[in-house]
């Protein structure tokens, strides 16, 4: 990577990484904003709220399935070209969401947006790793992940307020404007990052190796445990903790800020020792969920535990991404898209399992479900920490790039 670093100044790298953060922020906002205006969308499109909820599921499945497929199909393209292309397509899809009166068309647009977001994330990780020194790769990954986390803490609440005041379509119009601004900035400030590594067959052989799949299982378990509890945290706060409706947003904001801090700060720990970080953070997340279940009636302790959960769970994001790419070796380019898929599948499973438990037992059963999944994740994290990357002679790591041209 030394030749690459000679071609990109630290100032150019900082600008490029900042654009990756902005891109992740607006793409994350477009994904999650629908949750805050779901009732308005359901009324406007003349469907039930559960039916409108499939707009969330459709996006997640589009990202989980479509992201890796599109990444495989574009494996030989320049990463900047992919970033710009996905942003253009995201503009078109979000325009359809903002203007369509058809639920079916809106669902298709959401599924496609999810697939393009998965491709964007993979390309963003590749660019971030390519423009920084090797010892800062984890922090570059963290910047991209923190863009999504900040969208949860800031972008979604602001978009929800805008939607409540001026209609939900105005929120998506604002998203379109932000993506357009991001596109222009990306074209100007992100350098070219050519594709490296072999063809799709060679990439897949390493990207889907057992050592990589093991970390992907950990991705699903970590976020499955978190969202088994988090999806139903509002009824938990109302029924178990006794928090008033007016204060629930404060608890959610505390979690969102903690998640943003954890995802950003987790990059430094990923650079130091990603495997050990996953072990320690998985223990912290399991402990936080267990304490939340045991002491859920204490509002002050619950607030602290939500902060701890946000820091631990989201703090694992950079290390999970780093370990997948590193363990994939020459298949790193294709592997870039896999953690997001595993995470979304984990979220879907965790939300489903938590919902089943909630329906069959008490309100706190969803949190207990998260505890069980989190406990399973701990030995998996320990086992994956002992895995080593493949030894490939005369082959540069696929996560790196060729020398890239600085965008001055």
Q: Is residue 403 one of the residues assigned to a domain?
A: no
> How open is the CA angle 59-351-42, to the nearest 5 degrees?
50
Residue 360 lies in a domain: yes
CA torsion angle for 41, 47, 48, 51 (degrees, to 10)? -90
Quick one: pLDDT at residue 393?
A: 64
Q: Is residue 395 one of the residues assigned to a domain? A: no
Q: What angle do CA 260, 56, 116 make, to 5 degrees?
A: 75
Q: Is residue 15 a part of any domain in this protein?
A: yes
* Total number of domains in the chain: 1
pLDDT of residue 143: 84
Q: How far apart are CA 32 and CA 108, in angstroms?
A: 16
- State the residue range of the domain holding 248: 2-384
User: Looking at residue 198, which CATH number applies to its domain?
Assistant: 1.20.1250.20
Cα separation, 331 vs 389, in Å, equals 11
pLDDT at 4: 44
In a domain, 95, yes or no: yes
Residue 59 lies in a domain: yes
Q: What is the pLDDT along the chain (408 residues), one digit of tens a residue?
A: 333 443 456 778 888 888 999 999 999 888 878 777 777 888 888 888 767 877 877 888 888 888 888 988 888 888 899 999 999 999 999 999 999 999 999 999 999 999 999 899 888 988 888 888 877 888 888 888 888 878 877 777 788 788 878 888 998 999 999 999 999 999 988 888 887 655 677 778 888 899 999 999 999 999 999 988 887 887 888 888 888 877 877 887 888 888 888 888 888 888 889 899 999 999 999 999 999 999 988 999 999 999 999 999 988 988 998 899 889 888 877 888 888 889 888 887 888 888 888 877 887 888 999 999 999 999 999 999 998 888 766 544 444 433 344 333
In-domain check, residue 394: no
Is 408 among the domain residues?
no
Taking the CA atoms of 127, 65, 259 and 178 in sequence, report the sign of the dihedral they define: positive
């Amino acid at each position: 990577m030394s030749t690459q670093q000679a071609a990109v100044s630290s100032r150019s790298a900082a600008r490029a990484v900042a654009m990756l953060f902005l891109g992740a922020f607006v793409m994350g906002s477009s994904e999650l904003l629908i949750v805050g205006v779901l009732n308005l969308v359901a009324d406007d499109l003349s469907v039930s709220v559960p039916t409108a909820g499939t707009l969330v599921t459709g996006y997640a499945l589009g990202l989980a399935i479509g992201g890796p497929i599109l990444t495989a199909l574009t494996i030989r393209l320049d990463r900047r070209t992919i970033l710009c292309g996905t942003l253009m397509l995201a503009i078109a899809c979000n325009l359809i969401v903002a203007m369509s009166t058809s639920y079916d068309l809106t669902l298709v647009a959401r599924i496609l947006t999810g697939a393009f977001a998965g491709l964007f994330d993979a390309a963003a990780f590749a660019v971030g790793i390519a423009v920084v020194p090797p010892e800062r790769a984890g922090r570059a990954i963290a910047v991209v992940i923190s863009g999504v986390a900040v969208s949860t803490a800031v972008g979604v609440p602001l978009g929800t307020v805008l939607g409540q005041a001026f209609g939900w379509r105005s929120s998506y119009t604002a998203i379109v404007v932000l993506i357009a601004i991001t596109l222009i900035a990306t074209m100007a400030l992100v350098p070219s990052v050519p594709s490296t590594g072999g063809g799709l067959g060679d990439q897949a052989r390493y990207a889907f190796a057992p050592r990589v799949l093991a970390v992907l299982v950990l991705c699903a378990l970590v976020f499955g445990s978190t969202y088994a509890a988090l999806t139903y945290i509002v009824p938990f706060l109302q029924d178990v903790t006794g928090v008033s409706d007016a204060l629930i947003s404060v608890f959610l904001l505390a979690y969102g800020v903690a998640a943003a801090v954890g995802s950003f700060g987790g990059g430094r720990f990923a650079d130091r020792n990603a495997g050990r970080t996953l072990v320690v953070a998985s223990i912290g997340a399991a402990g936080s969920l267990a304490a939340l279940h045991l002491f859920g009636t204490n509002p002050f302790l619950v607030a602290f535990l939500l902060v701890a959960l946000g820091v631990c769970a989201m703090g694992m994001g950079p290390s999970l991404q780093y370990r997948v790419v590193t363990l994939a070796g020459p298949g790193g380019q294709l592997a870039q898209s896999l953690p997001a898929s595993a995470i979304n599948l984990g979220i879907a499973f965790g939300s489903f399992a938590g919902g089943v438990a909630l329906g069959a037992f008490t309100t706190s059963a969803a949190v207990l479900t998260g505890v069980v999944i989190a406990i399973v994740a701990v030995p998996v994290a320990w086992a994956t920490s002992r895995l080593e990357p493949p030894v490939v002679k005369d082959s540069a790591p696929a996560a790196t790039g060729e020398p890239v041209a600085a965008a001055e």
